[in-house]
Amino acid sequence: MSAPASLRAAAAPGDESRRTAVILTAARLFRERGYERTTVRELADAVGLRSGSLFHYFRNKEEILVAVMANGIQSVIDEGRELMRRHAQPADRLEGLFRLHMASLISGVGGDAMHAMIYEWRSLSPQARVPVQQLSDAYEQLWHRAIDDAAASGLVHGDAAVIRKHVLGGMNFTVSWYKADGRLNADELIEQMLRAALPGLFHPVD
């Protein structure tokens, strides 16, 4: 899933696959080395380009970071909207969004993107933050709808905004501590976190 058209630098039609490769490679390198410590030359070498050729796809290094963040958010927005269309029951929607988000963090593009959001947000200029924040807000609206419906059905109790921030915050920070070779595999982790974060899905409270 590529970043929205509004975030793309001008590129020839045949360049989209190479641009996507740059975004995914940058996401990995930023996570491994940090944004500030990853040089344009290192990124170009990793995708088989000359340093100057990167600027055929992006205007500058900051724009690459924006694309990394936006790419991850857009992928879960698209899948989340489809999930909301497929499911009518509040429990199915909320559980589906939770599992989608966690799967994206652990094994999808969302993990590297969220790592960048948490640790590299400060590297973005105020102007560059705007489109990423807009996407983040659009994604949170899916959760807002799902949690409001769950609250109306008695599946969760409390302030919907607090619940949303608590659940999303807990999931997002797994990128800073979860290890694939640790005690729990991905499926086990998702199941345990779902039961801990949203117990009402399993044992509704009157």
Q: Which residues contact 97 (CB under 8 A, 6 or more apart)?
A: 80, 83, 84, 142, 143, 146
Residue with tokens 């993107």: 113
Backbone angles phi, psi at 116, to 5 degrees: -65, -40
Residue with tokens 């560059």: 128
Residue with tokens 């652990």: 106
> Tell me, what's the pLDDT at 16?
83
> Tell me, what's the pLDDT at 204?
52
Whether 57 and 22 have beta carbons less than 8 Å apart is answered as yes
CATH topology of domain 62-200: Tetracycline Repressor; domain 2 (1.10.357)
The torsion defined by the Cα of 179, 180, 181 and 186, in degrees rounded to 10, comes to: 120
Closest CA to 151 of 100, 93, 196, 190: 93
> Tell me, what's the pLDDT at 80?
96
Mean pLDDT (the chain, rounded): 89
Under-70 pLDDT residues of the chain: 1-14, 203-206
**pTM of the predicted protein model:** 0.84
> Tell me, what's the pLDDT at 8?
46
Distance CA 39, CA 59 (A): 15
Distance CA 119, CA 30 (A): 10
